Structure 1
Amino acid sequence: MFSQFKNIDTAFKHIRLFSFLLIVACFGISCFAIYQYYRFYTIKDQRIYILYNGKLLTALATDRKSNLPVELRDHIRTFHQYFFSLVPDDKAIKASLTKALYLADESAKKQYDNFQESGYYNNLIAANISQELSVDSIQLDVDQFPYLFRCFATQKLVRSTSTVYRKLVSQGVVDDLKNQTDNNPHGFLIRRFEILENRDEQVKTAQP
């Protein structure tokens, strides 16, 4: 009789252990299923469908942080090209600089005013000089906000008699406006803009 009770007690313990393991397994499967569902739901939300030339294309959306350095460099590059790539035409110069000043604060406006007062733009027009800028590299620190940058570029000044190459180095910080517009598609603003270096490196005389 005692042996029978002992067997019943042992069987009960086995059933209790089995039930506990079954509950744990069910809980684990439920958690895994919920995780997979939300993972699938997130991936589905990141998928964008684009209709292009009558064809349905699929694109994958990413958060802005993962693309931040690319956007910052493009904003800095665009500003410098608008600010320094100029043709000897007063209306074209003003149009280009107006676009540049949408991308920066009063520190860029101050630099523009200095150039204006020194007669820099009038000299470009009078001497029929075309000025092109090519950005060589941009050093960027995205670990601190606002984002510190230093831009290294080459200016090409084309005259009828010669071509002058200048080294340009500038720096500043980029602030995030959290607002994108047609004139500022990235929603950034360059602050504390200053030119550290702007000197002639090479002069090529035009062949007669």
Structure 2
Amino acid sequence: MFTQFKNIDTAFRHIKRFSIFLILANVGCICFCIYKSYDMVDRAQNRIHILYNGKVLEAVASDKKTNLEVELRDHVKTFHQFFFTLSPDDRAIKRGVSKALYLADESAKKQSDNLQESGYYNNIISANISQEIEVDSTRLDINQYPYTFICYATQKLIRSTSTVTRKLVTQGRIRDIKSQTDRNPHGFLIQNWEILVNQDVPLKP
């Protein structure tokens, strides 16, 4: 009789353990399903579909910080291309510089005024010179705000008879203005911009 009670007690303990295990497993399964559901909804919300030329394309939304360095470099590159790409045409020069000034503060305007006053733009026009620029690299520091940069570039002054190559190094800070426009698609503003080096590269013998 005591053996029978002992067997019943043992069986009850086994059933109790199994029930607890089953409850915990069910709770874990439910929690996992809830997590995956929220994850799927979040990913679905970050995906949009675009109809382009009769084709449906999928695009993924991303945080601005994800591509911060890429956007900063492109902003710096675009500014320098607008500012330093010059042709022997007064309207073209003003148009390019005007586009550049939307990407920077008054420090860029001061540099432009200095070039104007020194007769640089007039020399470009009178000598029929085309000026091109290629940004070689941009060194960024995104660990402090406003972000700092140093831009290394190569300029080419193309005349009908010769081409002069110049080394250009500039530096400045970049501030996030929290808004994007057609004229400033990245929503950044270059400030405290200055030219460190702008000199001819000696020809190799």
Instruction: Please indicate the TM-score interval, normalised by the length of the shorter structure.
Output: over 0.9
Aligned to 2:75: 75
Distance in 1 (CA, whole Å) between partners of 2:31 and 2:136 is 51
Deviation at 1:142, TM superposition (A): 2.2
TM-score normalised over the length of structure 2: 0.93
Distance in 1 (CA, whole Å) between partners of 2:106 and 2:197 is 20
Instruction: Render the CA deviation track for 1:16-75: whole Å, top value 9, x for unaligned.
Output: 211111111011101111111122112212222111111112222222222111111111
RMSD over aligned Cα, in angstroms?
Answer: 1.6
Moved over 3 A (4+): none
SS at match of 2:174: strand
Deviation at 1:107, TM superposition (A): 1.2
Aligned to 1:178: 178
Instruction: Render the CA deviation track for 1:142-164: whole Å, top value 9, x for unaligned.
Output: 23222211111110101223211
Distance in 1 (CA, whole Å) between partners of 2:58 and 2:67 is 19
Distance in 1 (CA, whole Å) between partners of 2:134 and 2:67 is 23
Distance in 2 (CA, whole Å) between partners of 1:116 and 1:175 is 27
Q: How many residues align?
A: 204
Distance in 2 (CA, whole Å) between partners of 1:13 and 1:93 is 89
Deviation at 1:188, TM superposition (A): 0.5
TM-score normalised over the length of structure 1: 0.92
Aligned to 1:151: 151
Deviation at 1:84, TM superposition (A): 0.4
Correspondence 1:56 to 2:30:
no
Distance in 2 (CA, whole Å) between partners of 1:73 and 1:90 is 28
1:35-46 aligned at under 5 Å gives the runs 35-46=35-46
Distance in 1 (CA, whole Å) between partners of 2:58 and 2:102 is 33
Distance in 2 (CA, whole Å) between partners of 1:203 and 1:107 is 32
Distance in 2 (CA, whole Å) between partners of 1:87 and 1:203 is 24
2:24 counterpart letter in structure 1? V
Aligned to 2:98: 98
1:83-162 aligned at under 5 Å gives the runs 83-162=83-162
Deviation at 1:202, TM superposition (A): 4.2
2:4 counterpart letter in structure 1? Q
1:149 counterpart letter in structure 2? F
Correspondence 1:34 to 2:30:
no
SS at match of 2:148: strand
Q: Is the 8 A contact 1:164 1:202 kept in 2?
A: no
Instruction: Render the CA deviation track for 1:88-136: whole Å, top value 9, x for unaligned.
Output: 1111111111100000011111111211221111111122211111111
List alignment gaps of at least 5 residues for structure 2.
none
